[in-house]
Structure 1
Amino acid sequence: MKINQAIKAESIVEEKIFTVSEFLDFLNRILRPRRVVVKGEVGEKMNNYPDYNFFNLLDKDGSILKCFAWKEVIEKLGIGLESGMEIRVVGHPEIRKNKGEFRFQVERIELIGEGILKKQFEILKKKLASEGYFKEEIKKSIPKFSQKIGLITSKYGKGAKKDFLTHLGKFGFRIFLYDVRVEGVLALSEIIEAINYFNQNFPKIDVLVLTRGGGSWESLQPFNSEEMVKAIFSSKIP
Structure 2
Amino acid sequence: MEDKYLSVTALTKYIKKKFDVDQHLNQIWLKGEISNFKHHSRGHMYMTIKDNNASIRAVMFQSQNQSLRFRPENGMKILLSGNISVFESQGQYQLYIQEMQPDGVGALHLAFEQLKEKLSLEGLFDQEYKKSIPKYPNKIAVLTSPTGAAIRDIISTIERRYSIVEILIIPVLVQGKQAINSIVDGISKANQMKSIDLIILGRGGGSLEELWSFNEEAVARAIFKSEIPIISAVGHETDITISDMVSDLRAPTPTAAAELAVPSKIELLETIQKLDKFLSNRLLYRMERAREKLISLENSYVFKYPERLVEEKEQRFDGGVLDKLSKQMQYIITTKKEQYSFLHQHFHHFNPMNQIEKNEEEIYQLMKRLGRANIQQMNNKRKEFTKMLSQLDLLNPTRIMSRGYSITYQENKSILKSVKDTKIDSSIIVRLSDGSLECTIDQIREEDPNE
Equivalent of 1:163 in 142, 153, 156: 153
Q: Partners in 2 of 1:120 and 1:180 — Cα distance?
A: 24
Q: Distance in 1 between matches of 2:131 and 2:219?
A: 16
Larger proportion of strand? 1
Cα distance in 1 between the residues matched to 2:196 and 2:38: 46
Query: Paired residue for 1:141, among 129, 132, 153?
Result: 132
Alignment of 1:4-83 (within 5 A): 48-54=38-44, 67-68=61-62, 77-80=69-72
2:209 partner SS: coil
Give how far 1:212 is off: 0.4
Residue number in structure 2 paired with 1:203: 194
Identical aligned pairs, as a percentage? 35
Is residue 84 of structure 1 aligned with residue 84 of structure 2? no
Q: Deviations over 1:38-62 (max 9, x none)?
A: xxx9x87xx954313337xxxxxxx
Q: Secondary structure at the match of 1:53?
A: coil
| The one of 137, 142, 145 aligned to 1:151 | 142
Give the total of aligned pairs: 157
Q: Distance in 2 between matches of 1:141 and 1:77?
A: 33
Which one has more relative contact order, counting CA pairs under 8 Å at least 6 apart? 1
What SS is found at the alignment partner of 1:122? helix
Structure 1 position 185, deviation (Å): 1.2
1:84-233, aligned counterparts within 5 Å?
84=80, 115-157=106-148, 159-170=149-160, 171-200=163-192, 202-233=193-224
Comparing 76-85 with 161-170, greater Cα deviation is found at 76-85
How many Å apart are 1:123 and its aligned residue? 1.8
Shift of 1:203: 2.2
**Contact 1:154/1:212, CA 8 A, preserved across alignment:** yes
AA at the equivalent of 1:206:
D
Contact 2:44-2:62 at 8 Å conserved across structures: yes
Q: CA deviation at 1:169?
A: 2.5
Q: Contact 1:203/1:237 (CA < 8 Å) preserved in 2?
A: no
Question: What is the alpha-carbon distance in structure 1 between the residues aligned to residue 188 and residue 157 of structure 2?
Answer: 26
Are the equivalent residues in 1 in contact too, given 2:144–2:170 (CA < 8 A)?
Answer: yes
Any gaps of 5 or more consecutive residues in structure 2?
A: 1-26, 31-36, 46-59, 82-100, 230-451
Bigger proportion of residues as helix: 2
| Structure 2 CA distance for partners of 1:116 and 1:208, relative to 1, 3 Å | same
The residue type paired with residue 79 of structure 1 is R
TM value normalised by structure 2: 0.31
Question: Would the alpha carbon gap of residues 236 and 136 (structure 1) be closer, same or farther in structure 2, given more than 3 Å must change?
Answer: same
Structure 1: segments with no counterpart, 5+ residues:
1-40, 56-65, 86-110
CA distance in 2, matches of 1:208, 1:141: 12
Q: Note if 1:237 corresponds to 2:233.
A: no
